[in-house]
Structure 1
């Protein structure tokens, strides 16, 4: 039986890189090609994975994307949740596949349901559900909902070009990644770095706001599951198109717990002068990072029952358990003057 050809973008990043490693471990028999931006990235990846095909380019290179996707059975697009033309180019390429179009699995993010309606640092009432609320989720206004414009463009292109598409929307991803080039994501890593730079812990107002969380390995499992379903001749048990929208999460967490844990670990490491966590206004936090008041002071509560219905189950430690290791990793990178993000 012919093995599927899989084209991945984002392998130089945190989630895409970790997924690539896990996918190759689980399915070494599959055929892989990956998109990288530079010759150096290509050399680094080929040194570890000499049997894969490397395509040099980025999401702005339409011709490269269309050509690579046209020969793929499955495209895993993890380079960006916000690059509209790149995502649509991949759908266009998949539509040219023979004897049938390939399938796209595209990454988004639960930031699209960000809620600060009660104020920053205050918990919101609503938890979105990707089964019960699917029609509303896939028809939210494009303005004011991050990622929605790209999600809609992907869904529309899939319908127009008869390409099966699925969107996986993770929440806060935590834990150290094992990708070839990057080990950490924005939300957690950037916060730790800002606390170190500031010399004291901080939170937005009372920090009662909540996000949902997912361990990087559980997140990779979600993408692998859909890829395995996509590899089946009948598209498997997965749903595609406007029903193929999947929140990837394990459970909620309070931002206050993150702030306190980070401060405690950094204090024990001698990197800040106190375990105290300062309560800052949204304006103060936005001065620390332009979107910090949204990421660290907003709510993003999204329950993923659609993946669970396929048999996916999160089993790894929660974010409070992985934080100490991540904090130590950030400290090490800063001491080495390495790039954190």
Structure 2
């Protein structure tokens, strides 16, 4: 019997960047699965239904507790990417639904998406912006698992992580997937755009320079969105594998996965963007500018504060237990297409260089 998957995609449509890509990868790998998606209304469901005609829908928002609880209770697997890292009502409803609909003999599985901005807590707490990471700011998802699952309550996303972790029982099996900077073109029907790097590209095009939070030493990890999509497939498949589904290192308090395949300094990303924007004719020269954290937070885009803080998470759990092997191009290799895409979306046209 095919497993029933309840999908809560980001922005409450599977056209969301992470959710759209995850759904596309899982549906392609397992078209025999029964998918039910939470969307706001029939209008939002239409582009999804056009691409995935066998998909079922429930209508509502993350605040509609009864809707979410019922769907979670009926599902074998819940994949939550819809504002998953910050929405308390949605996480609470999923926890209640899974507990109500499952037992130790028939457990329900919850794949929950958090995010590595949870690791920026130290810089945020100490207002330490633009500086490089301290040794104690680096976390390993195998060696430092106890530190990870007991991060300070003030850490970004931590309040929802605690709800998810508290739901773990013999009847509710949980894996938390924690991606860092995600880049590359998504696979959803509508939204294929990430946030952090495209926001920096957009800011560079608008301001005429690429911003660097002084002194420009902050670091993050990164992952290609298509590699992230494959990790979702690996986790979903693990729920159906007798040799993996009861492993507490995959589904349990220790099941905390960093999805990373590289790292970057935000100052380097700013320089790559400035150089490429100049090369493509959108800037007269590859200009960068040192700014303060307050200045960068005033720029357009939700992700701008992250450029001035560190997030360092070393991921080996997915490789060890699931055989995940990222293959996507590097972040630097994606910069030319990102610049072209953002310029087109904003109506910028290349300018002829003089001389």
TM-score by length of 2: 0.89
The Cα offsets for residues 78-123 of structure 1, whole Å up to 9 and x where unpaired, read as: 1111111201211211223356231100000011111425932221
Q: 1:52: which partner in 2?
A: 55
Aligned to 1:96: 100
* Per-residue deviation, 1:290: 8.2
Aligned to 2:15: 12
Q: How does 1:103-142 map to 2 (within 5 A)?
A: 103-114=109-120, 115-116=122-123, 119-126=128-135, 127-142=138-153
Say which SS state the counterpart of residue 179 (structure 1) adopts.
coil
Q: Cα–Cα, structure 1 residues 29 and 269, in superposed 2: closer, same or farther, change >3 Å?
A: same
Counterpart of 2:298 in structure 1 is 287
1:154 and 2:160 equivalent?
no
1:61 to 59, 64, 71: 64
Aligned residues: 333
After TM superposition, where is structure 1 displaced by more than 6 Å over at least 4 residues in a row? none
Distance (Å, rounded) in 1 between the aligned partners of 2:304 and 2:111: 30
* Structure-1 residue corresponding to 2:37: 34
Q: CA deviation at 1:315?
A: 1.6
Contact persistence 1:74–1:231 (CA under 8 A): no
8 Å contact kept, 2:201–2:339: yes
Unaligned runs of 5+ in 2: 349-355
What 5-or-longer segments of structure 1 have no aligned partner?
337-341
Corresponding position of 1:84 = 88
Structure 2 distance, partners of 1:134, 1:221, is: 23
1:297 matched residue in structure 2: 308
What is the match of residue 181 of structure 1? 190
TM-score (structure 1 length as normaliser): 0.92
Counterpart residue number, 1:339: none
- Equivalent-residue separation in structure 2 for 1:151 and 1:140 (angstroms): 10
CA contact (8 A) 2:108 2:171 kept: no
